[in-house]
Amino acid sequence: MKNKLTANLGLKIISLFFSFMLWLVVNNMNDPTIDRSFSNIPVKLLNTELITDSGQVYEVLDDTAVIDRVTIWAPRSVFSSLTASNIIATADVSELSSLDTISIKLTTNLSSGDIEKIKASNDTVKLHIENKKTKTLALGVTTSGMTESGYMIGEISTDQNLVRISGPESVISKVSRAVVDVPVTGFTSDISDNAEIRLYDADDNLIQDSRIVQNIKTVGIRVTIYKTTEVPIIFNYVGKPADGYEVNGDAKGSISSVKLAGKESILKNVTAIEIPAEEIDISDQREDYMVTINLEDYLPAGTFLADTSDKNVEVTIKIDPQITKELVISGDRVEVTGIPDGYRATISELDSSITIQVKGLSEDVAGLRASEIRGTVDVTKWMESEGMTEPIAGYYQVEVDFGLPGSAVVEDPLIVTMHLSKVEE
């Protein structure tokens, strides 16, 4: 029996070898080894906490965390179940080189016994590593656009007033300010919204970097919109200048009107800002009187100045010396007017010539001529001043009105006797 098993042993071994080779050839003909490429394979970084836990941050350079092309050699049958998602590419930070590069390791999550070879178009991940920096910034608010005409922006507030940012020191060091911008174009009422926080450098260039981490990216904002209106300023005063002096014109301010702001329901009842007379006392003044008035002290409740530069107003009251001029007027230039129907009025005790002393500001008195002046006694006006509704016949002492211009007055008024009598039918 043993002889039968060992007889022709060499031929049997050769026969077995050729049988295996024949099987291998047949098998390769049915399932040959081929190669196939897959694009854009992501690389997973492992143990990145070794960087971040040491107070540093990293950035992948040149998109090296994505492999452009991975080529796999394997029997054709393998590729029926192999897709790009089965390819696992990793780079372990614990193997970081002195050049801040990490070798990429490739495998698949399928049985790799039939995979003959895997090759990547790039085999390292390049990192840029630097210190991490954190900065806290005060949150500023700006507005853009214009409200509707007749409205203005009032108070602006935010839910939070600080934002904390962190990231690479080289990036965070450039951030100078954090701002939210609120568009106000066309608004006539209060605004309540959420706004995106934007970061700027010292030259007001917008900084947008995905490596910056913010504790908040948006913030709630509230903007108050006020109605505005232009109102006049009325300057009252008390007192009289010293003897021989007179006020020349009205009190004048450095501005005569001002724009107020407030809620529409309040502003609709405001027609003027009135300065109380006791604030401007010209008693015994011999020269122009000037005073500074703070308008904010006299604003109606619920209103404020639309422009704070209008706060202080310089008020001037011009005070000039009086002059006196003597005029001799012909008696026939005094007449009676406004006589009620059915009555007659005559003046007695009137000289043929009348001398009057006129005083006032030079601009009103210096040019007066006696030949241009007439005196009148207006019965109707006199009755009104006396409270008479019906004429009553009799003798009355009345003042002659010479119709003098501006500040000019008769120093000693001319009093005459008027006889008012009923016309006999």
Residue-range domain boundaries for the chain: 1-27, 31-122, 131-227, 228-321, 323-422
Q: Are 291 and 280 in contact (CB under 8 A)?
A: yes
pLDDT of residue 9: 63
pLDDT of residue 55: 92
Q: Where are the beta strands (DSSP E) in 272-371?
A: 273-275, 289-294, 303-305, 312-317, 319-330, 334-337, 343-348, 353-361
pLDDT of residue 16: 67
Q: Which residues pair with 107 in a beta bridge?
A: 88
Q: What is the pLDDT of residues 101-127, one digit of tens each?
A: 999 999 998 875 778 899 999 999 999
When pLDDT is cut at 50, 70 and 90, the band that residue 18 belongs to is low
Q: Establish whether domains 31-122 and 323-422 are of one fold.
A: yes
Q: How far apart are CA 85 and CA 109, in angstroms?
A: 9
Closest CA to 104 of 152, 54, 66: 66
| Topology (CATH level 3) of domain 31-122 | RNA Polymerase Alpha Subunit; Chain A, domain 2 (2.170.120)
Q: How far apart are CA 246 and CA 361, in angstroms?
A: 7
Weakest-pLDDT range from 154-168, 215-229, 255-269, 340-354: 340-354
Weakest-pLDDT range from 31-35, 140-144, 166-170, 297-301: 31-35
The token duo for 34 is 């081929």
Q: Which residues pair with 91 in a beta bridge?
A: 45
3-state secondary structure of 238: strand
pLDDT of residue 20: 59
Beta-carbon count within 10 A of 244 CB: 11
Tell me the average pLDDT of the chain: 90
CA angle 354, 330, 367 (to 5 degrees): 85
- Which residues make Cβ contacts (< 8 Å) with residue 149, sequence separation at least 6? none
Unique residue bearing structure tokens 């070798």: 103
The token duo for 53 is 């836990």
Closest CA to 235 of 313, 136, 169, 175: 313
**Percentage of the chain with pLDDT > 90?**
75
Domain 228-321 belongs in CATH node 3.20.20.70: no
When pLDDT is cut at 50, 70 and 90, the band that residue 8 belongs to is low
Q: Is the pLDDT of residue 4 over 80?
A: no
In the CATH scheme, what architecture does the domain 323-422 have? Beta Complex (2.170)
pLDDT of residue 12: 59
**Percentage of the chain with pLDDT > 70?**
92
Q: How far apart are CA 365 and CA 373, in angstroms?
A: 12
3-state secondary structure of 375: strand
Q: What is the pLDDT of residues 63-92, one digit of tens each?
A: 999 999 999 999 998 888 889 999 999 999
Q: What is the pLDDT of residues 39-71, one digit of tens each?
A: 999 999 999 999 999 999 999 999 999 999 999
Average pLDDT over residues 360-370: 90
In the CATH scheme, what architecture does the domain 131-227 have? Beta Complex (2.170)
Q: What is the pLDDT of residues 304-361, one digit of tens each?
A: 999 999 999 999 999 989 889 999 998 888 999 999 999 999 988 778 888 999 999 8
Q: How far apart are CA 223 and CA 157, in angstroms?
A: 7
Average pLDDT over residues 393-399: 93
Q: Is the pLDDT of residue 13 over 90?
A: no
* Sign of the alpha-carbon torsion through 29, 30, 31, 35: positive
